Copies of this chain bind each other. A is one copy, B any other.
């Protein structure tokens, strides 16, 4: 199942894939799939629970990371933000006593300004994202999980914090007591259509609690994924008992879970039909996930993203044909 970068992959050309994605891990997985699938076969549903209004601008960190990555414009060192970024405005904001905790690069700012303008003109977030995708030359469909605001809040000892305050301003250090997701957020028609037409729902190796759960929490995403006869596969964000990036492992501990691929499989439970996890982790028992695939889940570069996506798609074809 290990294919070289230029070898054709045996992907059925009518397989409609919907990827549930957060930020950096989701973006890499999306890029791997985008290298293999025809654009009309790939839809990425992106977490918008991290979105927030900052200095008047509508900032959508996960949408931006996925867009920049698929456009080949993501900063490879940080994972977030753009290549060739500069900080002239931000440095002046600092001199004027404005907020510096959330970094807004000069190029990145253009995305937020354009999006905020389009929303103010009456576009939905889905429509505004559509314009940005077109201008960035991205053919695959990237959809916000909802057109309604759906802010994730983090309860910790110091109180209930907006997600970005906890994540960036506090560097995800305050221990998490509870993740509070909004009620009554509904999926857009575009999200419903994508889910209806999906042959595979793939859960990216993103944070299960603050990247994936907010998407599942949008009505009726969880219900549609549970009820419709689709293949649902999750990819573990844990590698060798740790999170590659971000607070997933720390949160698992704070929420009373073991930090392991097994715990992730157990968390997704009956929602998934198959589970992909890293060969550096302990074996996941069939009690937790009857069908598993163990491989190297680390995506070191663009070829590595394509390699993992190809392996997963081959595994899915096996699952479907069982």
Q: A residues near B, CB below 8 A?
A: 53-58, 86, 88-93, 95-99, 104, 106-107, 109-114, 116-118, 120, 131-132, 134-136
Q: Which residues of B contact A55 (CB under 8 A)?
A: 57, 113-114, 116-117, 120
Q: Are B117 and A56 in contact (CB under 8 A)?
A: yes
Q: Which residues of B contact A118 (CB under 8 A)?
A: 98
Q: Give the distance in Å from the alpha carbon of A111 to the alpha carbon of B89 in the complex.
A: 9
Which one of B88, B96, B113, B117 contacts A88 once the chains associate, using CB atoms below 8 Å? B88
**Closest CB in chain B relative to A143 CB, distance in Å:** 18
Q: Are A89 and B114 in contact (CB under 8 A)?
A: no
> Copies of this chain, how many?
2
Q: Are A96 and B132 in contact (CB under 8 A)?
A: yes
Which one of B92, B117, B135 contacts A99 once the chains associate, using CB atoms below 8 Å? B117
Q: Are B131 and A97 in contact (CB under 8 A)?
A: yes
- Given the interface contacts A55-B57, A57-B55, A58-B56, does A93 sit within 8 Å of B120 by beta carbon? no
Q: Are B132 and A114 in contact (CB under 8 A)?
A: no
In the complex, 9 of the A-B residue pairs with CB atoms within 8 angstroms, ordered by the A residue number, are A55-B113, A57-B113, A89-B106, A89-B107, A89-B110, A92-B106, A92-B107, A99-B117, A106-B106
Chain B residue with the shortest CB-CB distance to A118: B98
- Given the interface contacts A89-B89, A89-B107, A89-B110, does A135 sit within 8 Å of B95 by beta carbon? yes
Chain B residue with the shortest CB-CB distance to A117: B55
Q: Is the interface of A mostly helix, strand, loop or mixed?
A: helix
Chain B residue with the shortest CB-CB distance to A85: B88
Q: Which residues of B contact A88 (CB under 8 A)?
A: 86, 88, 106-107
Q: Give the distance in Å from the alpha carbon of A98 to the alpha carbon of B109 in the complex.
A: 12
Q: Which residues of B contact A98 (CB under 8 A)?
A: 110, 113-114, 117-118
Q: Are B120 and A96 in contact (CB under 8 A)?
A: no
Top 7 A-B pairs ranked by shortest CB distance? A98-B114, A92-B110, A56-B116, A56-B56, A55-B113, A96-B114, A55-B117
Q: Which residues of B contact A93 (CB under 8 A)?
A: 110, 113-114
Q: Are A97 and B57 in contact (CB under 8 A)?
A: no
**Closest CB in chain B relative to A122 CB, distance in Å:** 14
Chain B residue with the shortest CB-CB distance to A113: B55
Q: Which residues of B contact A99 (CB under 8 A)?
A: 117
**Closest CB in chain B relative to A65 CB, distance in Å:** 16
**Closest CB in chain B relative to A158 CB, distance in Å:** 19
Q: Which residues of B contact A131 (CB under 8 A)?
A: 96-97
Max chain B Cβ within 10 angstroms of own Cβ: one of A53, A88, A89, A120: A89
Q: Give the distance in Å from the alpha carbon of A214 to the alpha carbon of B134 in the complex.
A: 42
Q: Give the distance in Å from the alpha carbon of A56 to the alpha carbon of B113 in the complex.
A: 7
Q: Which residues of B contact A110 (CB under 8 A)?
A: 89-93, 95-96, 98
Chain B residue with the shortest CB-CB distance to A99: B117
Q: Which residues of B contact A114 (CB under 8 A)?
A: 55, 93, 96-98
Q: Which residues of B contact A120 (CB under 8 A)?
A: 53, 55-56
Q: Which residues of B contact A89 (CB under 8 A)?
A: 89, 106-107, 109-110, 113
Q: Are B109 and A109 in contact (CB under 8 A)?
A: yes
